[in-house]
Amino acid sequence: MATDLSLTVDRESALPLSEQVRGSLRRLIEDGSLGEDSPLPSSRQLAADLAVSRSVVVEAYEQLVAEGYLATRRGSGTRVANGIGRPSGAASALTRALPERTESAWDLRTGTSDLDAFPRREWVRSVTAALAQAGRAELGYAPLSGAPHLRHVLAGHLGRTRGVRISPQNLMITAGFAQGLALLCAMLRENGHRDLGVEDPSHPGEREFIASAGLRPVGIPVDAEGLRVDLLERSPARAVLTTPGNQFPTGVRLSPARRAQLIEWARKVDGYILEDDFDCAYLDRADRVPSLQNLAPDRVVYAGSVSKVLAPALRLGWIAGPPEVMSGVEAVRAGWDIGCSGLEQLAFAHFVATGAYDRHQRALRTESHKRRALIRTMVAEHFPGAHMLGGDSGIQAFVTLPSHMDEQVLVREARNRSILIRGGAFYTLDDRTRPPALVLGYATIDGKGLQTALTALGDIYRSCAVR
């Protein structure tokens, strides 16, 4: 029987929840409270006990397996590894005082943009131009919804490149996508919403964020055509967060039939679709379709940011929606802050208006297309039985594995070889019918490094396959 654990998490702490769980478990092992071969609760059970998403516990378990504290065996779940022993008090204290080891030869986890590609020279030009042109009004407080010039320029850009049908008056500049999502969650809550549909799989941090904002994330499965709208229709949610252009992390696109069905659902329940167009800059023409907002401006709130295109440090994002939504969002924001950096907004407006943003996106698309093509070739040659989903665009690859493969063992063995990857379980709410999978992020690694990393990962994969 699994050990009953008395663990807690501090949601006010800056330390990620998975790190809190990992640290608590490691201390229990080091001080002898959890002895060798002690069984641990399943990740699903511990997640329920702690009221966190399952991915939080999965990540903590995976890291402790990689560090040698835990072991996983088919049929017996997760247990404290044999041979751990109990360190002396001094040794235990020293272990806790040491910084976490984060070095790795290759980091193939998702969530980071190619910061080496940041167009420093062009951005400096835009910052210089913004400073030179800024008058008294521009140096003062910008309007709460953003600098009018940027909203005008951005509305035109989004209309031209993504088919977004929006007036500058109904577009708000935010401090990245996260603030936009927080504002939308608060607005929904104030209008009687208690649930928000989220794709399953999706980013676990996003689900935690939604929960902390006071809404219950309701997982809606994704298949080869995208979000299962038929299952959304059976849920209590009247709003849904979705990535229809390039689903994260699977890379599938919402089919035309599902798009129409989703819009019909929103109208029927008097609800809203929150469209996260997070990696539209990386979509090739063959993979790119107009935004969902283009089809239903009255029901879709379009959101994006520069985090995956330029750099997260800029903290620039936007949301665009129907007037009643945006007025509600502005009312919420009035009690939160007084807007984003005016000078940064003017610099970005110059960057977009001069064509630098388009040029940078083209360069990113060209490079990411090469890397994705390489991954597809390497998977076919070095990962027998594996299959890569999605089209030819994006910044992460979702690779399904044969059913007999142990995803956690593969992640652990890769980490032992200094290759950081995440399994599909990290992103999944309900994995009872989910095949094992890997999610490979490749935004930060060049072609040569990617080939080396995937060759090594392929060796590990084949060795795990014959066990």
Q: Which pLDDT score, from 0 to 100, does residue 368 have? A: 92
Largest CA distance in the chain: 70
Enumerate residues 6+ apart whose C-beta is below 8 A from 23. 15, 96
Phi, psi values for residue 413, rounded to 5° = -65, -35
- pTM for this model (two decimals): 0.79
pLDDT digits (tens, 9 = 90+) for 99-131: 343 445 789 999 878 889 999 999 999 999 999
- Among residues 381, 401, 405, 371, the alpha carbon closest in space to that of 389 is found at 401
Beta partners for residue 72, in sequence order:
78
Q: What is the pLDDT of residue 89?
A: 38
Q: What is the CA radius of gyration of the chain?
A: 23
Q: Is the pLDDT of residue 88 over 60?
A: no
What is the arrangement of strands in the sheet containing 216-223, beginning at the earlier edge strand? Answer: 171-174, 317-320, 300-305, 272-276, 239-242, 195-200, 216-223, 226-227
CB atoms within 10 A of CB 115: 12
Give me the pLDDT at residue 431, please: 67
Spatial separation of the C-alpha atoms in residues 61 and 408, rounded to whole Å: 9
Instruction: State the pLDDT at residue 26.
Output: 84
- Could you give the percent of the chain with pLDDT greater than 70? 91
Q: CATH code for 117-358?
A: 3.40.640.10
Mean pLDDT of 171-190: 95
Residue-range domain boundaries for the chain: 1-96, 106-111+360-466, 117-358
CB atoms within 10 A of CB 236: 11
In angstroms, the CA 38 to CA 3 distance is 7
The answer, yes or no, to whether residue 97 has pLDDT greater than 60, is no
CATH 1.10.3720.10: does it fit domain 106-111+360-466?
Answer: no
CA–CA distances in Å: residue 403 to residues 54, 78, 254, 296, 387: 21, 19, 26, 40, 12
Q: Which residues contact 429 (CB under 8 A, 6 or more apart)?
A: 53, 54, 55, 198, 200, 201, 202, 207, 217, 219
Which residue reads 């090739």 in tokens?
A: 284
Out of 71-85, 155-169, 181-195, pick the least confident: 71-85
CATH class as words, domain 1-96: mainly alpha
Structure tokens at 418: 């200094």
How far is residue 221 CA from its own chain's centroid?
16
**Which pair of tokens denotes residue 32?**
């002898």
In terms of Cβ atoms closer than 10 Å to its own Cβ (0-12, 13-18, 19+), residue 268 is: exposed
- pLDDT top residue among 419 and 4: 419
Residues 110 and 398: their CA atoms lie apart, in Å, by 11
212-269 pLDDT per residue, tens: 889 999 999 999 999 999 999 999 999 999 999 999 999 999 999 999 999 999 999 9
Whether 1-96 shares its CATH topology with 106-111+360-466 is answered: no
Q: Which of 132, 146, 466, 138 is nearest to 316 (CA)?
A: 146
